[in-house]
Chain A
Amino acid sequence: MSDLKLQPDISDEELIRRFQEDDFAAYNAIVHRYKDQLLNFAYRFLGNVEEAEDIVQETFLRLYRNKHAYRQIAKFSTWIYTIAGNLAKTELRKRKRRRVVSISDMGFEDKDHEIKDELANTEQVANSALTEKIIQQAIDELPPRFRQVIILRDIQELSYEEVGSILRIPLGTVKSRVNRARLKLQAKLKDIKMPAL
């Protein structure tokens, strides 16, 4: 299996084709290729590493079970991202349901306010871990549809076309949504002098 992992010139589509013919080494190579990428996607979307890891596990299990659902007409990467993205959205909904109780227990939480407090000492925002935390918090506050596009486009640096096929929305919509997401993030983060990460 390590042979396959070490051959970056084999395309994803070729790997999945081999896996569809029951080549398990090809499956392992796909996992090796995508696990960290998908983890970062899920992690930025959910803001929680453990949940993100479970999402990625589930994604690969679905790949295993449903390998024949993949058709060569689509890029493999967008197909697997779609699976991971749907699972992450489901997780988010579950989490919302779980939270109903705790929020009413704890009283109203003003998230925006929390951020501002944290930014009160702007000068002290000097270490990258804190910067990352603040950015992540701002991402967490975006509505999911904006969060998805910004993660795929600006963190994972996929093309607009790829983002469009993952989310199954037209190119024009992707572009305007990315623009709005960037504006929203900019508005949340405008008062911070961003130190280098």
Chain B
Amino acid sequence: MKNCDHYTTLFSDYIDGDLDDRARSSLRAHLAACPACAQRLNAMQAVRGSLAQLPHIKTSESFDLLLQARLRREMRQAPRRRPFPLFELNWRVPAYAAAALCLVFFGALLQRRSYSSFIAKSSDSVAMDTVRRTDLAAIEPGYLVFVELDTVNNLYRIINYGGIDNVNSLQDFRRALAQQDDNRTRTGLPNLRTAPQNRSVTMRTRQDMPQLRQAEFIF
């Protein structure tokens, strides 16, 4: 008579229907006589069922964009090392009225080779309605632009931007911003990480600015 340890090695094959007749009837005989093994096999089957039903997740909105940007860089072969452009945060925002938004800008309208003349300043305080086309035009496709929503004055401010051309991962980008956030805390500015997390917000798409497609909370 074989012991429980032996029979448990057969469980998977049994569940998968891979046991030959002899092994199967021998296992069945054991299960009939051994409640512990029978219980274990049942539980194993239940767990296996739950695993197969785990929800599937999907890649984020920024995934394709970032991949395309990284491929473009790859194709250019010798990547120019650009400094990662980050604004200094030197202005005040109404406390607790701010939420950080991450805007992904793209589209044909934003095609432009050079961004060195980026015009939007960290001190810019612009209602979304009045964002100048020229400001946006200076942003290459695939730029992540971080905007704060000021719910008191009902406007957005550009607080930070970075080319995902220069970022190696979404995590890098978020880390860089977290660092900025720490600086904010030190200087007494509201900490953006307390803002709602990962909530997707669909923004108005204006007819004259179809490139502005989606906003996403990042902190």
Contacts and interface: CB of A to CB of B under 8 A. Distances in A.
Contacts of B174: 50
Q: How large is the interface on B (under 10, 10 to 19, 20 to 34, 35 or more residues)?
A: 20 to 34
Contacts of A57: 63, 66-67, 70, 169
Given A50-B171, A61-B74, A154-B51, A40 B67 contact: no
B57 A194 contact: no
Contacts of B40: 183, 186, 190
B61 to A, nearest CB: 11
Interface stretch (B5-13, B140-148, B201-209): B5-13
A60 B54 CA distance: 25
A197 B50 contact: yes
B70 A197 contact: no
Interface string B51-93: 1111111111001101100110010000000000000000000
B185 to A, nearest CB: 20
Contacts of B170: 50, 53-54
B48 interface: yes
A153 B64 CA distance: 28
B54 A53 contact: no
B9 A179 contact: yes
A84 interface: no
B43 A186 contact: yes
Contact of A179 (B11, B43, B52, B59): B11
B169 A49 contact: no
A182 B12 contact: yes
A175 B57 contact: no
Given A150-B51, A179-B9, A36 B70 contact: no
Contacts of B169: 54, 57-58
A64 B74 contact: yes
A155 B51 CA distance: 5
Nearest 6 A-B pairs (CB), nearest first? A179-B12, A154-B51, A54-B169, A197-B53, A186-B44, A186-B43
Given A39-B59, A60-B67, A64-B74, 4 more contacts: A61-B70, A178-B12, A183-B11, A190-B40
17 contacts: A35-B59, A35-B63, A43-B57, A50-B170, A53-B170, A56-B63, A57-B67, A61-B67, A61-B71, A132-B55, A155-B51, A155-B54, A179-B12, A179-B13, A182-B12, A197-B50, A197-B53
